[in-house]
Amino acid sequence: MNRTSPQPAIERDDNRAAPPLTVDLRSDTVTKPTAEMRRAMAEAEVGDDVYGEDPTINHLEQRAAEIFGREAAIFVPSGTMGNQIAIKIHTRPGQEIICESRAHIFNYEMAMLAHFSGCMARPIPAEDGVLTWPEIKKQIAPKTYYRAQTGLISLENTHNMAGGTVYPQRVADEICDQAHDAGLPVHLDGARIFNAAAAVKRPVKEITLKFDSVMFCLSKGLGAPVGSLLLGSRSFIDQARVYRKALGGGMRQGGILAAAGLIALEKMPARLRDDHDNARFLADGLAQIAGIRIDPAKVVTNIVVFDISGTGLNSVELSQRMAEEGVLANGISPEAMRLVTHMDVDRAGCARALQAIKRACERHATLRRTAQR
């Protein structure tokens, strides 16, 4: 064919049709919007959201509130903003917030607990990132004037750094019930709550209803380019609107983003099982590689965290070797790596990732044996 002749316009179902050159398992935040999302963005009806006049944002907020069985929802630019607005509303300066020690709100939100809300974290290490009421109860400050008071309990489901783990429902329910009896609110960092719901095969509404506020992200496994929602009572969301504006989160004609978010919310939860199956495939393969430690049974959503200390490589070295083969992944400590599956990586990409990891580990083992001779 003449190279200069115009190519027929191919209407791709989505932008995953072209095989990716790299397999990007760094995070589910790297997903690109589908063709349907891009079309919806181009055609979105918009208005000024600071005046409450963006019909697409209003629709997204209404649908999110309906799906989660809440009075109201607010569209925010990021999960971080959603979490930190919730924390600000629930607490007063000088209070403590109980969370798991690897929680995103504590480690990756720029110390905003302190900076924005004037609070301190009371982090508790918990197996698989899943806190229990007896563990929390011990850390609630006694009600005496000379101790900083506990203002909030925040849970993370799924738990990112613990490997996408999911709260057993009775554990989350007990925490909410007991906290409420003790007069404490409970916030849910549900950045990946749809992954949790897919894993336990229950609607998000059922698994989140006891929380006072819920944040979830459209921009992770659900594939939207930008955006998260914060859910709660009408008065809670009215207050959130004030803080969102104060933080510069009034997005004017943000309906362009909400249009993609609506597709993420309505259509994408149904495909998360594929990501979970791919994560399990990775975990099963990793468990076969000498020097890697992982319990595949614990991989129930789209995040795979594994220990590489037995390989002799640290996470920087392993990720460099993987990158040379076109596979991207992040270390979460010198000894631990994280792989995150999502809609832009298929089973063949996961198989390629396993091969790259296996080759890197085997080559390093051979070099070490040769050096020891």
Ligand X SMILES: Cc1ncc(COP(=O)(O)O)c(C=O)c1O
**Chain residues that interact with ligand X, rule: CB under 6 A:** 78-80, 83, 104, 156, 160, 189, 191, 217, 219, 228
Q: How far is the CB of 253 from ligand X (least distance, A)?
A: 20
Q: How far is the CB of 78 from ligand X (least distance, A)?
A: 3
- What SS3 state is found at 300? coil
- Residues near 206 by beta carbon (within 8 Å), at least 6 away in sequence: none
Q: 80 or 319: whose CB is closer to ligand X?
A: 80
Q: How far is the CB of 28 from ligand X (least distance, A)?
A: 8
Q: How far is the CB of 230 from ligand X (least distance, A)?
A: 12
Q: 214 or 353: whose CB is closer to ligand X?
A: 214
The full length of the chain comes to 373
Amino acid of residue 174? E
Q: Token pair of 48, please?
A: 């000024």
Q: 187 or 321: whose CB is closer to ligand X?
A: 187
Q: 104 or 342: whose CB is closer to ligand X?
A: 104
Range list of H helices, the chain: 35-43, 55-68, 79-90, 104-107, 112-115, 133-139, 169-181, 193-200, 204-208, 234-246, 255-267, 272-286, 315-324, 347-372
Q: 228 or 302: whose CB is closer to ligand X?
A: 228
Rounded-to-integer distance, Cα 126 and Cα 147, Å: 24
Q: How far is the CB of 191 from ligand X (least distance, A)?
A: 3
Q: How far is the CB of 156 from ligand X (least distance, A)?
A: 5
Q: 343 or 356: whose CB is closer to ligand X?
A: 343
- What SS3 state is found at 100? strand
Q: Helix axis angle, 347-372 relative to 315-324, nearest 10°?
A: 120
Check whether the bond before 158 is cis (ω within 30° of 0). yes
Q: Token pair of 316, please?
A: 């920087």
Q: What is the CA radius of gyration of the chain?
A: 22
Q: Which residue number is nearest to ligand X in terms of Cβ?
A: 79
- What SS3 state is found at 373? coil
Q: How far is the CB of 125 from ligand X (least distance, A)?
A: 17
Q: 303 or 360: whose CB is closer to ligand X?
A: 303
